Amino acid sequence: MKGELLYEGKAKKVFVVEGDEKSLVLSYKNDATAFNGKKKASFIGKGKYNNLITAKIFDYLHSKGIATHFQKSLNETEQLVTKTAIIPVEVVVRNVAAGSITKRLGMKEKTVFSPALVELFYKDDDLGDPLINDEHARILANVDPFELEQMKEAARAINEHLLAFFETVNLQLADFKLEFGKDVEGNLLLADEISPDTCRLWDMETGEKMDKDVFREDIGDLIETYDAILQRLEAVK
């Protein structure tokens, strides 16, 4: 079923599916990178955690009527998704200040954004994924204002669903990154992954960081952290 390798990114490989032109296989790697690939490591089991956690979250979003590329898990590290042309714009939603915004704009960590702050970044490793505005997105990524509005609206709706979802497992969703793609019919679908690699999750009682910041900041064991996230999500009915 799994055909040739189409693309290899920092955290996943993408394979064609023989006999099914509308689908792809995503294979989650054990590699972790941070700071635009400047910091690198590999953790046995990481691919499994991000595959299974993404599957849980996308299933939940489907139950809320959000259109995503996710079809099903195939095994511990692979999932079948609908093929899309990825729009090279990363949509970051921030509920509280953390990470790059604290450095870029001097905002104090934990400053609350209500309503949530939506930022756009141009997905280009050579440029280090720079912050862009709507007009840059129109020119660089060829997204028209209507599509961009659709992406931002979807991102806000997804934020509301994810805030509620993570709250049930005692996690505060500080921020996260989304990517969207267009399927062969031109439908806009949520794509890529939603995992502790792409979210900031803080324990609601202790404030403990339970995401890739443990690797970025060398403050904990990545596999133990991701395992704790999966265990909490698996307890959700």
**Interacting span for ligand TMP (CB under 6 A) from 12-20, 66-74, 99-107, 218-226:** 99-107
Question: For the chain, what is the largest distance between any 2 Cα atoms, rounded to a whole number of angstroms?
Answer: 52
Q: Is 175 in the site for ligand TMP (CB under 6 A)?
A: yes
Min dist CB 232 to ligand TMP, Å, is 18
Q: Which residues are registered as beta bridge partners of 7? A: 14
* Element housing 155 (H / E): helix 145-167
Q: At what angle do helices 46-63 and 145-167 cross, to 10 degrees?
A: 100
Q: 112 to 171, contacts with ligand TMP by CB under 6 A?
A: 129
Instruction: Candidates 12, 46, 48, 200: give the one binding ligand TMP (CB under 6 A).
Output: 200
In the bound state with ligand TMP, the residue whose beta carbon lies nearer, of 23 and 102, is: 102
Residue span binding ligand TMP (CB under 6 A) among the ranges 45-53, 57-65, 76-84, 97-105 = 97-105
94, 101 Cβ separation under 8 angstroms: yes
Among 50, 54, 68, 198, binds ligand TMP (CB under 6 A): 198
Place of tokens 């690797």: 215
CA dist., res. 116 & res. 101, Å (int): 13
Residues that bind ligand TMP (CB under 6 A): 92, 99-101, 129, 175-177, 198-200
